[in-house]
Amino acid sequence: MATPAEPKIITPRAVLPDAPRAGGHQTTFRAIAAAALLVIGFWPILVSMYGSWFDERAYMEHGILVIPAAAYMVWTKKERLKTVLLQPSLWGLVLIVCGALLASLGVLAHWVWVSRMAFLVSLVGCIALIYGWRMIQQLVYPLCTLVLMIAPPTFLLARLTLSLQLLASRLGEWSLEALGISVFRDGNVLELVGIKLSVEEACSGIRSLMAILFMAVLYNYFFVQGKTMKSLILALCIPIAILGNAARIVATGVAGQYNPSLTQGTAHETLGYISVAVAAIGCMAVHIVMLSIQKVWRSRHA
């Protein structure tokens, strides 16, 4: 009688011991070389972007923190990234070429935002070419965070700033009148008894909005679970930032009734930092409240 053949054991490809992993020395060398070439190729654009972080008109003071924050996000996933299978894709080369063309077009046409975004396109292309799309999937959040280091297009920033100026002026007017303080508003100028407050571009709230959006992105990554909850916090941080800036205007108006010197100088700047801190705390408070509501909902429907 013939002996039955032993069944073959098929090992899934994902766990083969000789499958290429993302943590190899050769791959690391390629990544370092690609990063160096990318920085050299985009050097003028990167220098320009770095300068925008210190330009008061760009409202991008948080930009200098974006790269370290994204790098730390990647570092927290280093063990997981080492297990990602290498599946280099030639589509990465296509993205690199597209990034180079966009950068050239942006420089020639003076489209600063396009040329800076081209750097991120080429960066994604390098990762896809060396590591593959599985690595891109693991790095989606840090890569999206890098968008915050690029100032919005000038026309969009100007329109948003003007809208926030007028909105902050209206909210300040309504709030001061609710407190019993007589106010006359003319556009973005608030006239109170004895003082006149002008809600300038720097006081529109765009600076605090950009900073708080960056804080919300960091808070989401490290402390918030679930895409729905993260999306809600990102969406709610916008009205929270606007309300925080309106509270700053109200506080300035009230303080100016007692001491007009408090409406400018160091005291005025201090109120701005306080409003950002309060708005950031407000985002965390919203998260805590939503978690409590979620817990009550689950307990009732368990």
For the stretch 110-120, pLDDT in tens is: 999 999 999 99
Bridge-partner residues for 186, per DSSP? 189
- The reply to whether 204 and 265 lie within a common domain is yes
- Any idea which residue has 């996000």 for tokens? 73
Query: Does residue 282 fall inside a structural domain?
Result: yes
Domain final residue pick, 119, 151, 183 = 151
Domain final residue pick, 151, 180, 196 = 151
- The reply to whether 147 and 166 lie within a common domain is no
pLDDT tens profile 24-61: 678 888 889 999 999 999 999 999 999 999 987 778 88
Query: Does residue 12 fall inside a structural domain?
Result: no
Phi/psi region, residue 22 (left: phi>0; alpha: psi -120 to 50; beta: rest), is: alpha
- The reply to whether 212 and 245 lie within a common domain is yes
pLDDT reading at 2 higher than 50? no
| Total of domains in the chain | 2
Mean of the per-residue pLDDT values for the chain? 84
Quick one: DSSP state of residue 153? P
β-sheet with 195-198: strand ranges across: 184-186, 189-192, 195-198
Closest C-alpha among 147, 149, 143 to residue 58 = 149
**What distance in Å separates the CA atoms of residue 65 and residue 61, rounded to the nearest whole number?**
8
Domain final residue pick, 151, 171, 205 = 151
Query: Does residue 260 fall inside a structural domain?
Result: yes
- The reply to whether 147 and 182 lie within a common domain is no
Query: Does residue 94 fall inside a structural domain?
Result: yes
- Domain hosting 221: range is 155-300
